[in-house]
Amino acid sequence: MIRYIGQRLLQGAFVLWAAYTVSFLILYLLPGDAVSIMASGDEQNAVDPALVEKLRAEYGLDRPLYEQYFIALFKALQLDFGLSVKNGVPATQTVAEVLPETIKLAVAGFALAVLLGSALAVVAAFSRNRWIRQAFSSLPPLGIAVPTFWIGLLLLQFFSFRLRLFPAIGNDGGQSLVLPALTLAIPTSAVIAQLLTRSLRQTLGEPYIEQIRAKGASEALINFGHALRNAAIPTLTMLGILVGNLLAGAVVSETVFSRAGIGRLTVTAVNSRDIPVVQTLVVLAAVIFVITSLIVDLIYPLVDPRINTARGAKV
Amino acid sequence: MTQQLVRGTHSVDPAAGHSAAAPEASVPVPPAADQASVSWAGSPWAGARRFLAKPGLVLSVLVLALVILWALVPQAFTQWPPDTGVPSSRLKPPSAEHWFGTDSLGRDLFSRVVHGSATSLAATAVAVAVGLVAGSALGLLAGSIRGWVDDAIMRVMDVLLAIPSLLLSLALITVLGFGTINIAIAVGIASVANFARIMRAETLRVSTAVYVEAARSSGVRWHSILLRHVLPNAAGPVLALSALEFGMAVLSISSLSFLGFGAPPPSAEWGSLVAGGRDYLVAAWWLVTLPGVVIAAVVLSTNRISHAFQDSERNGR
């Protein structure tokens, strides 16, 4: 087991290195010269050549490419992603300051999404009524198709302005968390519901379900004790990507509700072309992906004892 | 075998039975037989009847056709100009005269949506084209050369998949700059990995087929094999993915222009129309709601069409 975790950590380290390298290539080497982008702020302003040269020396961008890369990589290993262009604070610190707000939002959103998604799937797959089944299985495609920012604005319009139930903007208290978390949860829950409904229906057609039924198990035990547990596995596989998408959803949700957090930070960083902060955020997304995949791998054997991840996936 | 029989006695609803029973292709079919079964069984009338039997699909095709017509001949659908407003009719709710109401400058919202569809659809088409061409080329390279080229390309694709696509697009926009074309390219690049994976899988599947081996051993050169066998056979799944990515691109592009990275104000793109209505949430609900409905309808339609592609692909094999 320990050896397995070690192996996975090595793989994770590789993904992080690769994510860092890809983002370095995109941000520092692609057409627009990083320094003049940062010096100008936006394209309209004239660029002061002296400032460019000064910045270039400061960031070490006057050296050969491979040298720049190794220096930057070495610094990144010490969690130094450079200074934020906007206020000269280390980029990692800028991100770390607002990270807790987004974690709160993402955890609330994810919990809501899992609840909502599983509830939809359970009704869509287990209900005996054809109409209910059809109504509930037509909801997820709808949830996937609607733009997140639009859901947020509609919720804002209805619950904050019309019913005055929740504050429209800001970060204070649990009240202000409800609508942003719901905005984040709706698209994610639609994906969960779709995956889970499909695998639940498939599982219910399996011979062993018939056998349990023949042995006299109650429908509740069949549905929740056996089918749900077996059907959860394909959904679990998608968890890494779903959690990553929460981060993307936070960009929209935090902008709509004017909440502080890394989503809003991403928008302001792109707006002011703050490359060190953008790179920190990209690498952070990769870190989150790696951690979630590791957790998912460790959860597998708990859900299905036949899968022994430590000895390679055996089913 | 007995298990198979037991399965047959259990009553699941038809949709579930279909998805459970649909066999994945394990043995590639030679192109001639493949084409015969992919084409709608028998006469074109049978195909048309089968198409009309799916009201959801028909509606989806109609929605998409309507929006494409909006983009091509906007003046045929509305007599109101998109950019000049009538100050006396500011923030009017939807009516027979102004179907979608008017905005804060008295401009007809329906006209702005219709005229904006050209920008939105063009940007979406650019995004899908970038993803399709670059992704397919990479997938084809990886699948046909194999070896370390395959490893290198697919590892990079794995990393791209590890980063949420909206964030990847935002990182690209930081470098490319703002504007509709740039966000389209950024969204396209962010979808390259999906296309590369499908294309590689298809290339591997086709190139181990007996008829390809036969062609190879009878001295057909590799580029003719790619053009004649691999590409036509991979077209189905790649097309289904393109339809799906089209919907995703509409969402990403409208999100990015909602966030303010699209074209500057006077131009109307669906996402920026919704963004423009943000300041009037209380006074004018229609400004945010109705353009959003259009976006959702288009995405829903393309997803449905992509689903139909996948179905016909699965039944065809």
- Chain B interface includes A284 (CB < 8 A): no
d(C-alpha A262, C-alpha A245), whole Å: 13
pLDDT higher than threshold 60 for residue A270: yes
pLDDT over 70 at A153, yes or no: yes
CA B209 to CA B229: how far, in whole Å?
A: 10
Cβ(B229)–Cβ(B206) below 8 Å: yes
Contacts of A239 in chain B (CB under 8 A): none
Over pLDDT 90: what percentage of chain B? Answer: 41
Beta bridge partners of A83: A90
Average pLDDT over residues A193-213: 89
Closest B-chain CA to A204: B12
The answer to whether the CB atoms of B176 and A31 lie below 8 A apart is: yes
Q: Do A154 and B288 touch (CB under 8 A)?
A: yes
Residue B41 has pLDDT above 80, yes or no: no
pTM score, whole prediction: 0.84
> What does the pLDDT look like over B274-296, one tens digit per residue?
998 888 888 888 999 999 999 99
* pLDDT at residue A39, rounded to an integer: 63
Question: Percent of chain B beyond pLDDT 70?
Answer: 85
- For the segment B161-171, what is each residue's pLDDT rounded down to a tens digit? 889 999 999 99
Q: Say which range, A212-226, B26-40, B147-161, has the weakest mean pLDDT.
A: B26-40
Q: What pLDDT score does A310 carry?
A: 55
pLDDT band at residue B16 using 50, 70 and 90 as cut-offs = very low
Listed range (A18-32, A48-62, B60-74) with the worst mean pLDDT: A48-62
pLDDT at B183 exceeding the cut of 60: yes
pLDDT band for position B37 (50/70/90)?
A: very low
Q: Among A124-138, A259-273, B114-128, which stretch is predicted with the lowest mean pLDDT?
A: A124-138
pLDDT at A115: 95
Q: Which of A40-49, A88-97, B217-226 has the highest mean pLDDT?
A: A88-97
Output the pLDDT for position B43: 65
Minimum Cα–Cα distance from B170: chain A residue: A270
Q: What proportion of chain A, given as a percentage, has pLDDT over 70?
A: 90
Torsion of CA B16, B20, B23, B24, to 10 degrees: 100
What number is the average pLDDT over the span A214-233? 86
Please choose, from the candidates B198, B32, B54, B81, the residue with its C-alpha nearest in 3D space to the C-alpha of residue B131.
Answer: B198
Question: What is the mean predicted confidence (pLDDT) over A16-38?
Answer: 76
B274 in reach of chain A (CB within 8 A): yes
Residue A250: its pLDDT value, please? Answer: 94
| Nearest chain A alpha carbon to B8 | A205
Position A314 scores a pLDDT of 41
User: Alpha helices of chain A — where are they, by DSSP H?
Assistant: 2-24, 34-40, 49-58, 65-77, 91-126, 130-145, 148-155, 175-204, 207-214, 219-220, 228-237, 239-256, 262-271, 275-303
Q: Per-residue pLDDT for B24 more than 80?
A: no
* C-beta separation of B100 from B286 below 8 A: yes
B167·A247 Cβ contact <8 A: yes
**pLDDT, position A169:** 76
pLDDT at B149 exceeding the cut of 70: yes
Q: Is B212 on the interface with A (CB under 8 A)?
A: no
Can you tell me the mean pLDDT for B248-264?
91
Work out the pLDDT band at A300, boundaries 50, 70, 90: confident
Q: Tally the C-alpha atoms within 13 A of residue A277's C-alpha that lie toward its C-beta.
A: 30
Query: From CA B67, how far away is CA B72, in angstroms rounded?
Result: 9
Average pLDDT over residues B37-51: 63
Using CB atoms, which residue from B161, B178, B255 is nearest to A147?
B255
How confident is residue A261, by pLDDT bands cut at 50, 70 and 90? very high
Q: Do B170 and A156 touch (CB under 8 A)?
A: no
Mean pLDDT of chain B: 82
pLDDT value at position A60? 67
Q: Chain A contacts of B6, Cβ < 8 Å?
A: 207, 210-211
Per-residue pLDDT tens for B58-113? 999 999 999 999 999 998 898 888 888 888 888 888 988 888 988 888 888 999 99
Q: In this predicted complex, what is the ipTM?
A: 0.87
Mean pLDDT of A119-127: 90
pLDDT-derived band at A311 (thresholds 50, 70, 90) equals low
Residue B311 has pLDDT above 60, yes or no: yes
Most confident of A31-45, A175-189, B12-26, B92-106: A175-189
Out of A160-174, B31-45, B103-117, pick the least confident. B31-45
Q: Whole-angstrom Cα distance, residue A58 to residue A71?
A: 13
Q: What average pLDDT score do residues A96-113 get?
A: 94
Tell me if B116 sits within 8 A of B268, measured CB to CB: yes
**Residue B186 tokens, joined:** 């950024």
> Cβ atoms within 10 A of the Cβ of A131, count?
8
Whether A150 sits inside 8 A of B295 (CB atoms) is yes
- Is residue B32 over pLDDT 60? no
